[in-house]
Structure formats: structure tokens, C-alpha cells
Chain A
């Protein structure tokens, strides 16, 4: 085995490790939200359960997050075709939309508070604030990963293979959190 082959193999192993690590991390996050969900279902059977009105901005926030996911995909497609400028622009857009989503969630919280709905107002509001908060913490972590991918793209992806690997991690993490949000939004809105 020559030195180049060994280096390529080492990179491949590293990519596999990072993918594996991310999926295992996502498994633990899934279990965390599964626990919150089961607590929600149990607590919902309490006699004091009162559904509070949720702000309509949550719909807009959902669209923003979905648009962010689309932007990540566009960045990936453009990068694969070595159109680095448009790929970088899409990544920056995805990152910015992620920030807008978080800002929108804060606006939703403020609207709830303005309407007199606080954390302890009802079990439903308690879960709303807690679940959206827990999700936001994970979004902040995912934004850091997205930023890591954006930096690679902005630098013109000097190492296309490493870029593909980074993008794969970014896409998985970001779309996963988009999926979690849709699930949580459906849970607190419909059930």
C-alpha cells in the first residue's frame, strides 16, 4: 500500500466514523424527544389539561425551517456540480434562515407571554415552552455544524471529498431537526 492510498483510506475511515457518530448522537436525541413525548401523552390525561392557543407565527417559522432545508439541498447540488459561488450563497442562505427560525421562535414565546400564557399557566403551555426550548438548543448546535459546512463551501471546497463528507453530516443533522420540529409542532398543535 503506498502513502497516498493509506491517506485516502484514513480519510474514508474518518468519514465513516463521523457519520456513525452523528447517527448515534441522533439516536440519543430521538430517545430524548421520545421521552418528552411519552411524558406529554401521560400528562395530557390529567384533569387539569387545558389547551392554550398557539401563535400563528409558528406556521411561518415552519416554512422558514423548510426553506432552510431546501437551501442546504441546493447548496449540495450546486457544489456537486462545482458551482461553488452559488453553493456558498445557498449555504449562507440556509444558515441565515436557521437564525430567522430561532428568532421566530423567540417571537412566538413573546406573543405567548403577551397573551398571558406563561410556562406554568397550563401543562400544555409548560410542554410548549419546554419542547420548543429543547428543540432550539439542538438547532443552535446544528447551526454550528451548518456554519462548519458553510465555511468549507465559502473556501471554494479545496478538498471536494472532505466537502462532500461535511455536507453529508450537515444535511443529515439539519433535515433531522427539521423533521423533529414538524413532529413537535404537530404534537403540540393537534394532540
Chain B
């Protein structure tokens, strides 16, 4: 008798990833893996940034207190248990740099941008997958260089996240202006190179590999926001590269681009002549202000895509929101001078920058009203992502109000370099983006990892994040109105600031609560990765294309290229699967509303 034939080998799914571990998870060209790599790197950098914030708040909350334990841990930064002023400057500088460029940019922009854009446009991957991998590893190198700068002679850069010369240009100015500042510049150059590659990829992906039927006006607002933010990045970031090159030349090769004549540092007259420190400010803010929108537009786009899943109705004013994103993007390129009202600019120039800055509030307000109108009349389902989106809207409104004062040259003269500015930008590019990042993580976690995050812990995380965050930065507006200057290490040396001790104490306690509550998130994240409830393909009953594929999506994303039949917000309709239709549901099955 013949032996029975061996069973046929199991068929491989069409998109099974057959690459080895290293190509699959480390040097991967899959946009999803790269997105997750960015997110993990950014979250680790956030831990560093949050630790630095804790050190800042310890100093400001208890300015006269000695911390012997911290001296043991950070012997270079403390003396007699008291923080050294130059160390304080380095801590403030690195906190700002890390949070703006290495946390929010990595997680919200590059991380979620990478993960979501190809999926939401129905593509198998980014337009340039290899370039995408390269951009992540350059970004990783950039972060590594910045972290390494903590350990070089003189310590990390200490000239502020804006790196204004002469402080940043002269090694003898402050210890952090030695090797630390050069590494800071190198790190920024790498960051810009990486971000440019990433932005180029996103624009090319949106323009060239959209699924059939997915016209531009059917794109989800998330994709629109990444598209416009990427264009902004491509156009606004190169000038900082130019500025960084010139600053490196000033620092190491004896040029005088930014160093003026007659500068005396450490009792020595420098030989530099005729340079202009203001030139750096112009070049920096030409990047710096659009950078704000590079961060905040994706936050708003993400909020708009999460809202309808929990209101079960379409977003309000989709077309107008798209036009507003364009208007904000265009205007953001011509408003940089409002960061320099006190630099001695001509009043006419100041008037111009005031006008265009206040003009930007028009599209921003329309966008904000559209978000509010999207909530109007809905029965809100306050799950974790939606709670964070509500926080986004709250901070966008209240933080944006402060912008009206700072955009006005007359008011800004009084408020410039005070805690009013710190409160304002933390609410906007700190808070709006932070809460949107968390909203995105809670919302797309099931898609990324195939498991759902714990809802109770998510809600606790929201309230213990939002309440202290709002307390801290709302109060800082009032510190600013009282004239408290930012970046001052020993504010108690000034009599008029003695009365702010109590406020600083409350702010510090709130900051510790804020940082501590992030452990709830970490526990939830890790626990859910391992033990979270297994997620179905579309747990939120949402409409965009990523929800039409399994969770997590396979390599190559789609078994067959989807054909898009409708816009991204087909909610409140009668459909076989419920009150929604994903973008690929045929028009014959469910009528198309837009």
C-alpha cells in the first residue's frame, strides 16, 4: 500500500512578509513599522523632556531648597544640593528642544504621519519606502547626538531652544556653548534633513498613490493636515539649515555672520566685526513659526477625524476646514516677525507683522468653530480618544486667546519674554499637540497592535493630564501679566516676584501630578500591548480606509487596491453595517452624500 501523500504546504497569504527580523522590524521599509519606530523613539525622548521639566519645576517651586540626592545623581549640575544657574539654562534649553523637535515632531508628525497617510489614501506604502527608512534612522541619529551632548565637556547646549547668538556663538559665554552647542546644531541639521525626507515622502504619497476614486476633496482631514504641514516643512526648514551652517562657521572658523563688533566676553574683546544677531532671529523664526503649524495642523486634522466616530455624524464644514488649513499654512510663512517685536524693528514692520498675525486668527477661528459645530447636537460618546479631543478643543480655544495679545505689537512689548508667552505656547504647541497625540494613540492603538487600550485607565489618564496641564499653563499667563520673566533661575532675587512664590509652588505641584499621571499611560500602553482585548478591524465603526483592513494591517496594507466611492465622513446613514459607510462601500449599496 502506498503511503498517504503528504498534506500540501499551507498557502501563504498574498501579503505575507517573508523578510527576516532585522529587515522587518529594525531596518524596515514598511511605513507602519517606521511609524511605530518614530512613535516609540518620540515617547522615549518625552521621558527625558519630562524629567527635565521636573528639574525646572523643582527649582522654581522651591528656589531656596537643597536637594542632596540630586547632587549625587547629577554632580555636574548641582553644588551643595542647589542647582547651578548654568545647568538650569541647559535644562530649559534641552527641555524645549526635545519636546518640540524630538517628541511632538517625532510622534505626532512623523510617527502618525507615516502610519496613517498611506493607509488613509489606500496605498501599499509610502512613495519612497527606502527614503522613509533612511529618514527614520537619520532622525534616530539626530536624537542620539542630542542625548550624547549631555555628556560632553561643558554639558548640553544652554542658549535656549532658539539658540540666539551671541550666547550660542561663543564657547566662553556659558559652559553649554562649548561642544554641547555644536552638537545641538549638528543634531538640528540631521533633524531637518530627516524631516525634509519625511515631508517629501508624504507629499509625493498623497499626490501620486491615492486609491482610484480618492479625489483630493475626499481626503480625510488628517491627510490634508499632514500634506500641508509637510509642504510647510519643506519650504520653511531649509533656512534654519543655512543659519546653522553660518553659526557653525562663526563658532569654529572665525567668521562674523552673527557676531557684532566690540563684544566683550570673559573680560576679553572679541575680534569679530559687524555681524548681526538679529539675522539669526529672522532665519530661526522663518522656520520657527511655520514649525508651530507643522505641529498643530496634524493635531487639528486628527481631532477632526476622531470626532465623528464619537458623535456619529459628519464633521461640520469639511470644505471650509480644508480651505482654512491652506490659508493658515500660507499665512504662517509670513508672520515670523511677531517673535521679534522688541528687537527694535521699524514700527511699520511691526504693524505689518501684527496685521498678518491677527489675520491668521480668522481661518484658525473658523476651523475651531467647525470643530465645535461638529459636536453640536450630537450624543457624545466620551471614550478615551474623544475625551482627549475635547481637551484639544478646550486648549485650542483658551490657548489661542493668548495669541491675540501676543500677536498685537503693543501688548507684546509688555508681555514679551514673560511667563505669558510660556503659558501661551505650552497650551498651543504643548497642550493641543500633546492631547492630540494621546487621542491618536488611544484611537489607532487597536489598528497598530490589534489590541484595545484599557478604557478606565484611559479616562483616568485624561483627567489627571488635562486638569494639571490646564492649571499650570493657565496660571502662567497670570505670572506673565505680573511681569515674571521666563528663563529666570533665581526669580526670588527680585522683590516684586516674591509674591509669586505661592503660584509657582502650585504650578510645580501640578507639574508633578502631570508627570506622575503619565505612568498610568505607560502601564496602560504596555499592559494593553500584551493583555489588551483583541481588537476587530473597525472597533470605532469609523469610515476611513485604514478601518477596512485587519488590525494590525498586513504587509502591503490592502489585499486589493480599494476603490473609493465617497468622502471620509459618511456617518448618520442607513447602511448594512450600521450608521456609517466606509469610503470603499459601493455607491449602489449606500447612497453617497459627498
Binding site for B on A (CB under 8 A): 13, 16-17, 20-21, 24-25, 27-29, 31-32, 34-36, 38-39, 42-43, 46-49, 119-120, 123, 126, 130, 134
Give the 7 A-B residue pairs with the shortest CB-CB distance, closest first.
A48-B274, A35-B239, A46-B274, A120-B254, A35-B242, A32-B238, A31-B238
- The reply to whether A126 and B257 form a contact with Cβ atoms under 8 Å apart is yes
Are the C-beta atoms of B276 and A46 separated by less than 8 Å? yes
Given the complex, which residues of A lie within 8 Å of B307, measured CB to CB?
none
- The closest CB in chain B to the CB of A49 belongs to B274
CB < 8 Å neighbour of A21 from B200, B241, B245: B200
Do A32 and B242 touch across chains, with their CB atoms under 8 A apart? Answer: yes
B interface residue count range (under 10 / 10 to 19 / 20 to 34 / 35 or more): 35 or more
Provide 18 A-B residue pairs closer than 8 Å at the C-beta atoms, listed in order of the A residue: A20-B207, A24-B200, A27-B235, A28-B196, A28-B237, A31-B235, A34-B239, A35-B243, A38-B282, A39-B279, A43-B279, A48-B274, A119-B255, A123-B256, A126-B255, A126-B256, A130-B245, A130-B249
For the complex, what is the distance from the CA of A35 to the CA of B209, rounded to whole Å? 32
Which one of A16, A24, A39 contacts B246 once the chains associate, using CB atoms below 8 Å?
Answer: A39
Q: Give every chain B residue within 8 A of A34 (Cβ-Cβ).
A: 239
Contact B256 A35 (CB under 8 A): no
| Chain B contact surface mostly | helix
CB distance from A115 to the nearest CB of B (A): 18
Query: Which of B200, B255, B256, B275 lies at the interface centre, i.e. has the most chain A CB atoms within 10 A of its CB?
Result: B255
B-chain residues with CB within 8 Å of residue A29 when the two chains form the complex: 238
Which of A13, A17, A27 counts the most B-chain CB atoms under 10 A from its CB? Answer: A17
Give CA–CA (A38, B281) in the complex, Å.
13
Tell me the bound Cα distance from A51 to B200 in angstroms: 38
* B-side contacts of A42, CB under 8 Å: 276, 279, 282
The CA of A27 and the CA of B236, in the complex, are separated in Å by 10
Q: What residue of chain A has the Cβ atom nearest to residue B287's Cβ?
A: A35
User: Which residues of chain B are near A35, meaning CB under 8 Å?
Assistant: 238-239, 241-243, 283, 286
A57 smallest CB distance to B (angstroms): 23
Chain B nearest CB from A20 CB (Å) reads 5
Q: Is the CB of A39 within 8 A of B203?
A: no
Q: Is the CB of A43 within 8 A of B257?
A: yes
Could you tell me the distance between the alpha carbons of A38 and B261 in the complex, rounded to whole angstroms?
Answer: 21
A28 touches B235 (CB 8 A): yes
- Residues facing A in B242-285 (CB within 8 A) are 242-243, 245-246, 249, 253-257, 261, 273-276, 279, 282-283
Let me know if B471 is at the binding interface, CB within 8 A.
no
B residues 202-254 in Cβ contact with A at 8 Å: 203-204, 207-209, 234-239, 241-243, 245-246, 249, 253-254
CA–CA, A46 and B257, complex, Å = 10
B127 at the interface (CB under 8 A from A): yes
A125: nearest residue on chain B (CB-CB)?
A: B255
Of all chain A residues, the one with the shortest Cβ separation from B128 is: A21
Chain B residues with Cβ below 8 Å from A126 are 249, 255-257
Structural contact, A17 and B128, CB atoms closer than 8 A: yes
Chain B's closest residue to A29 (CB) is B238
